[in-house]
């Protein structure tokens, strides 16, 4: 009898396939990250509320080291390493991986969870490309369920313009609980020129977009999972259903 892979792994496998076919390279980065990559390089200045103690796990006796709060630091790490190798854009990467928020856990919150980051940089990338990429991914991942998206203004320091993406599942194949409801799916936007500068990329010549979504959340919607804590429960009553 075959065993089962974890639903998050299954989603990452599927996401990687969708994005690989569109030219994206799977990239990773460290979970213990410097404040520079996690915040400063992403245009989150020292006094920004997002850097407050209560959100971020700090490593004791290690100066300015944190558990990364998002997968976005890998944007800067990747671009920087490419530039050092003399490889100029275009870049297309996805970064699936674990991230951390220092908060109490409950049915919808986990201190450790998974994110999927995407980054596209070239000399002609537009918000239109971003919309296509996100729509394409959601349509593929929800397979035969009809997916509608909408884009709203929002704010994240590392993108400008910054947007929020809502999704709606439609039609008979959509789960009844979710059908025809707008659900917040991810933050996205055009890479802030300061982020490109942090990575040593010429922000006059190159532009890009980035997006980041919770994979646990995506799994919850895709399979109708009722408690986010199941993801890290290591409970086969859960895992063996996938």
Partner 1 sequence: MKVSRNWLQRFFNEELPSAAALAEALTFHAFEIESVEALSKGSPRAVRGESSDNGNDWILDVKVTPNRGHDCLSHHGIAKEFSAILQLPMKSDPLREEVSLKPRYSDISLHIENANLCPRFVAAYIASIKVGPSPEWLRKHLESIGQKSVNNVVDATNFVMFDLGQPLHAFDAGKLHKKDNVYSLIIRPAKRGETVTGLDDKTYALNETMLAIVDGVASIVASIAGIKGGKPTGIDETTTDIILEGANWNGANIRKTSQALKLRTDASSRFEQVISPELAPYGVRACADLICEIAGGEVVGFVDEYPNKQQQTSISVDAGRINAILGSKLSDAEVGGALTRLDLPFTKSGDAFVIEPPFERLDLTVPEDIAEEVGRITGYDKIPPVELPPMSTKPEVNPNFYAAERAREEYVAKGYSEVYTSIFADDGERVIANKVDGVRPYLRTNLDIGLGIALERNVRNKDLLGLKQVKLFEIGTVWKDNKETIVFNSYCETPTNKDSVVSGERSGDKPLTDYISEILKQYDELPLSETKRYVPFSKYPFIVRDIALWVSAGTKEDDVLEIIRTHAGELLVLSELFDTFKKGERTSLAFRLVFQSFDRTLTDFDANERMASISSALKAKGFEIR
133-192 residues near partner 1, rule: CB under 8 A: 133, 135-136, 150-155, 160-164, 175, 190, 192
- Number of shown-chain residues binding partner 1 (CB under 8 A): 90
Smaller CB separation from partner 1, 25 or 108: 25
Please state, in angstroms and rounded to a whole number, the distance separating the CA atoms of residues 49 and 189. Answer: 20
State in angstroms the smallest separation of the CB of 141 from partner 1: 10
Angle at 75 between CA 38 and CA 29, to 5 degrees: 70
Compute the chain's Rg from CA coordinates. 18
State in angstroms the smallest separation of the CB of 175 from partner 1: 7
Please state, in angstroms and rounded to a whole number, the distance separating the CA atoms of residues 119 and 136. Answer: 15
Q: What are phi and psi of 129, to 5 degrees?
A: -65, -40
State in angstroms the smallest separation of the CB of 212 from partner 1: 17
- Positive or negative, the Cα torsion across 8, 13, 14, 20? positive
According to the binding rule CB under 8 A, does residue 74 interact with partner 1? no
Please identify, among the stretches 34-42, 69-77, 120-128, the one whose residues bind partner 1 according to the rule CB under 8 A: 120-128
Closest CA to 66 of 115, 117, 101: 101
State in angstroms the smallest separation of the CB of 228 from partner 1: 12
Ranges within 205-224 binding partner 1 (CB under 8 A) = 207, 223-224
Binder to partner 1 among 20, 36, 180, 202 (CB under 8 A)?
20
State in angstroms the smallest separation of the CB of 12 from partner 1: 8
Helix (H, G, I), strand (E, B) or coil at 128: helix
Smaller CB separation from partner 1, 152 or 200: 152
Whether residue 67 contacts residue 33, with contact meaning beta carbons closer than 8 Å, is answered with yes
């Amino acid at each position: 009898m075959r065993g089962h892979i974890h639903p998050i792994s299954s989603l990452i496998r599927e996401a990687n396939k969708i994005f690989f076919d569109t030219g994206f390279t799977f990239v990773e980065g460290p979970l213990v990250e410097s404040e520079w990559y996690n915040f400063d390089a992403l245009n989150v200045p020292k006094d920004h509320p997002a850097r407050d103690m209560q959100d971020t796990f700090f490593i004791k006796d290690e100066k300015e080291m944190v558990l990364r709060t998002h997968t976005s630091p890998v944007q800067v790490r990747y671009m920087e390493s490419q530039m050092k190798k003399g490889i100029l854009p275009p870049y297309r990467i996805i970064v699936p991986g674990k991230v951390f928020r220092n908060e109490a856990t409950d049915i919808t919150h986990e201190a450790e969870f998974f994110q999927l980051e995407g980054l596209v940089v070239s000399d002609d990338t537009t918000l239109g490309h971003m919309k296509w990429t996100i729509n394409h991914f959601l349509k593929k991942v929800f397979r035969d369920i009809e997916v509608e998206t909408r884009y709203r203004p929002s704010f994240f320091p590392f993108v400008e313009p910054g947007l929020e993406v809502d999704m709606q599942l439609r039609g008979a194949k959509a789960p009844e609980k979710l059908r025809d409801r707008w659900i917040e799916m991810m933050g996205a936007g055009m890479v802030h020129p300061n982020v490109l500068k942090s990575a040593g990329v010429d922000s006059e010549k190159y532009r890009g977009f980035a997006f980041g979504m919770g994979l646990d959340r995506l799994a919850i919607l895709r399979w109708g999972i009722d408690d986010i804590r199941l993801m890290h429960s290591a409970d086969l009553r859960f895992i063996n259903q996938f």
